[in-house]
Amino acid sequence: MQKQVHIRLKPFSLRHRRLVEKGSLPDLSAQARRRLWITLREIDEPFYYSPPDNPGWNEQSSDIQEVEHLYARLLGTPKPESARYVGEVIEEIIQTGKVESALDVLECFLAWLDAERRDEAQTAINDVFRDYTCRWRMSDGQGLIVDDDFMEDIVLADTPPILALASFSGAKDEFQRARNELTEGNIRDAIFYAGASVESAFKAALGNSPKTGIDLTQAYANANLLEGLPKSKAQSL
């Protein structure tokens, strides 16, 4: 079992304090919230582990129990003594809590899972958002607001896994920064970091090319790396 402290995550409400303080975040419907909780319960799995100080002893836990601990640690909100059962705190948040708190829980849930299960869980969560026409999506384990179908289905779905390759780490960091700036409503900064991400991706694809601007784009095209893109998209590049 991975240790909680090894999970590095800055939850939604901490990343986007300004938006939270403005109180302008779109809410989730009651039906969407119910299905989200049902979905988390279906994904939840029990497991046994041996404490480091007593390797001969087995303890039982579950994904939801560990997520509840992770949420409490990252948000500084210890589990109340009045809680009657495992998962009660995060269930209440998902069902009736503030939308930013619900996103915090979802991000903690995805951060706890291993990579394979995380992808499946994220897909299931996004299915809920789509089915109930919510403006929220999870991408690369983070919650964000989306409005454009192309951005949702192509950029957010396909780009993060590609940028996860080691040589594209710089482009991924810039892409995530652009995404967060867009969520915050900082359009100018979002455009800047999105452009930087594209340039970094081009350079990585060309083996860390030193070229910039038009020369970089031309080198990318000359390497036949635009094949497969719709003609209009390739021409715009």
The model's pLDDT over 173-222, given as tens digits with 9 standing for 90+, comes to 888 888 777 777 677 888 888 878 877 777 776 666 767 666 666 776 66
Handedness of CA 8, 112, 147, 166 (dihedral sign): positive
Name the more confident of 231 and 49. 49
User: Quick check: 234 pLDDT over 60?
Assistant: no
Domain layout of the chain by residue ranges? 1-145, 162-237
pLDDT of amino acid 208: 65
Confidence class for position 167, pLDDT limits 50, 70, 90: low
Per-position b or e across 46-73, b if 16+ CB within 10 A of its CB: eeeeeeeeeeeeeeeeebbbbbbbbbbe
Residue-wise over 188-219: b if at least 16 C-beta within 10 A, else e? eebeebbebbbbbbbbbbbeeeeeeeeebbeb
> Position 5: which residue type?
V
Least confident range of 131-140, 157-166, 228-237: 228-237
pLDDT in tens, 103-115: 999 999 999 999 8
Backbone angles phi, psi at 163, to 5 degrees: -70, -10
